Structure 1
Amino acid sequence: MSVCQGESTAHQRSCEIRCLSSEELGKRGLVEAMTLIHDRKVGLCEELEHIADCLPSNVDELTCLSVAAKLMPILRLAHEYEENVIFPAYEKAVAGTGQSMSVDRLRGEHISDECFAADLTVILLKIGHGGYVDQAETFGFMLRGFFDSLRRHVAFENEHVAPIIRNSILNHQRKFSGELGC
């Protein structure tokens, strides 16, 4: 059995991480929730990269089914939370600085990512159900294009959005504790 047909490290990692849910995100602070979302997205990227590396003939069908089953739900939940909670907090923190245009781009990337993920899901399900990879090289490029884009999105949020939100929260806490005389 090849490494690609055995249990992958990325698959093991995804099994170790609890499911992403609105309830789980709601229990956490903004930055911690964002970190959880990013962990899930990076885990998906690792699994998709593993699949791409195993093309054309060594792809594990169960891995494809597993990734296909969680790709859209994770993205939709993550995007919903980001757009309803993270982005408004970021926009509030950068109000008047001209940096809020980044949010429009990030929202656009969410739409693109979901459309791309839907296409990948169809192919992953086909492979997972024993289907042949018609154009393995093309599918490999699709996978790589998707997970590279998703990793860039996560990196931007980690480098720009999260620090601004973190600083905004700290400034608010300092102001609040100052008002209380602490």
Structure 2
Amino acid sequence: MSDARVKESVNPLARNPLDVLASAHALQSEMCDAMERIADGLPDEVDRRLCARVASCLQFDLPLHHHDEEACLFPILRNRALPEDRVDKVIERLASEHESDNDFASEISEALELLAQGGRPDNPDMLGYMLRGFFERYRRHMLWENALVLPLARLRLNPDDLAALQARMSENRRQAG
């Protein structure tokens, strides 16, 4: 995970907003790797800067990405999917996971901010358990999105859909800014 704050942006040079979502998944994978390093270092070998970067990603970038998918991608994909794509249940499941992931991420980010400021967790084993539970689950979540949702979106969305998706994602960033 780079030192610069991981901030998803809709690059005007990007040809396809689905590439932006895929890039966000790559950054989230790095975030999961960073969480694993933090968990492995508890309680005494904690990189404070890494904790601050992950906390920021969990507080700001992850909810924005989830909003991009739920409010922008998923509705467009539902409209374009064919009945045989059977995407409704997958999208319902992913949206449900987003909600619980956002709640869990909020709790974890508070603990990581404490570590970033030089504090120590009351229960390092519990924090390690929470970190591991989150990144293991989130890696599976991204696998579903990368293996099912993004390929189906690439297959079904037309240029007008992609333009609308990019416009809505850009608006999300303006509102979040």
Q: Structures share a fold, TM > 0.5?
A: yes
- The 8 Å contact of residues 68 and 121 in structure 1, kept in 2 or not, is answered as yes
- Structure 2 residue aligned with 1:167: 155
Cα drift, residue 104 of structure 1: 1.2
Measured in 2, the distance between the counterparts of 1:156 and 1:143 equals 20
Paired residue secondary structure (1:132): coil
The 5 Å alignment of 1:13-28 reads 13-15=1-3, 19-21=7-9, 23-24=10-11, 27-28=14-15
Structure 2 counterpart of 1:105, from 93, 96, 115: 93
Matched, 1:137 2:122: no
Q: Which structure would you say has the larger Rg?
A: 1
Structure 1 counterpart of 2:64, from 77, 81, 99: 77
> Where do 5+ consecutive residues of structure 2 fail to align?
160-177
- The 8 Å contact of residues 52 and 144 in structure 1, kept in 2 or not, is answered as yes
Measured in 2, the distance between the counterparts of 1:107 and 1:150 equals 13
- Structure 2 residue aligned with 1:65: 52
Name the aligned partner's letter for residue 51 of structure 1: I
Matched, 1:118 2:137: no
- The 8 Å contact of residues 48 and 143 in structure 1, kept in 2 or not, is answered as yes
- The 8 Å contact of residues 25 and 33 in structure 1, kept in 2 or not, is answered as no
Structure 2 counterpart of 1:33, from 14, 17, 20: 20
- Structure 1 segments of 4 or more deviating over 6 A? none
- The 8 Å contact of residues 93 and 164 in structure 1, kept in 2 or not, is answered as no
Cα drift, residue 102 of structure 1: 1.3
Please report the RMSD computed on the Cα atoms of aligned residues, expressed in angstroms.
2.2
Measured in 2, the distance between the counterparts of 1:161 and 1:28 equals 18
- The 8 Å contact of residues 48 and 115 in structure 2, kept in 1 or not, is answered as yes
- Structure 2 residue aligned with 1:94: 81
- Structure 2 residue aligned with 1:10: none
Name the aligned partner's letter for residue 44 of structure 1: M
1:102-149 Cα offsets, whole Å, 9 max, x none, are 111111111100100000011111111121122111111100110111
- Give the structure-2-normalised TM-score: 0.80
- Structure 2 residue aligned with 1:180: none
The 5 Å alignment of 1:136-155 reads 136-155=124-143
Higher RCO, 1 vs 2 (CA within 8 Å, ≥6 residues apart): 2
Matched, 1:48 2:10: no
